Amino acid sequence: MSVRRLLLVRHGESVWNVEQRVQGHECRGLTDAGHVQAQRTAEVIGVHFAGATLVTSDLGRCQDTAAPIAAALGVVPSVDPVLRERHFGRWEGLTREGLELDDPGRFRRWRAGEDVIGEVGGESDVEIRARAARVFAALLGPGSDDGSGSGSGSDDAPRTVVAVTHGGTIWYGVHELLRFAGYRLGAVHNASLTELVLGGRGPAGLDPELPQLARFNETSHLG
């Protein structure tokens, strides 16, 4: 099997990131710093991932991040709403202080790791894990089975896909795709790079038929 790569890019810093608001599907665009992050990310991707295809979430903060990457790669990005951030229901737009005032008990449970977002009309942990893993497996191609059987088969065509998406989508999707029993990875920062590889030799003992995590939350290009 030829090597296939999926480079996951979290969007640049957004207005609501700075305001510490729950974003979800809501979008107020990137800050000036976020646009700089997007440009720096594009420069690195243009050099190291020439020939890659590009796909982005349909939310504005991702499309703004994808624009300079598309220019660096010389491609037109595909737009896939399945790459969206999770929906946070009636919590969207609220700050941490607002949540502590309006829904303190549920907010404390969420901070403690409980799956409560479905209770406020949003997408549960189980739902976002499954959705994100499915789209990542599809982007990697046959062989990157997410456990549903949808990735069975073989494909010898090497390829690289760059996907501009969201922190929650990356975090939950990687945990599910790599079959992690618990949540062992750290935060996903703005404009960070996370790379999944399928078909590489990898460390001894790893199954080449399963995706491998080549890097996670890399931000050295932003320094």
Q: Which residues are catalytic?
A: 11, 85
Residue type, 151: G
Report the relative pairing of strands 193-198 and 212-218 from DSSP bridges: antiparallel
Single-letter code of the amino acid located at 83? L
Q: Which residues pair with 21 in a beta bridge?
A: 95
**DSSP H stretches of helix in 57-190:** 60-73, 96-102, 104-111, 125-140, 167-177
Helices (H), 164-206: 167-177
DSSP H or E run through 42: helix 32-48
Q: Are 84 and 55 in contact (CB under 8 A)?
A: no
By DSSP bridging, strand 4-10 and strand 159-165 are parallel
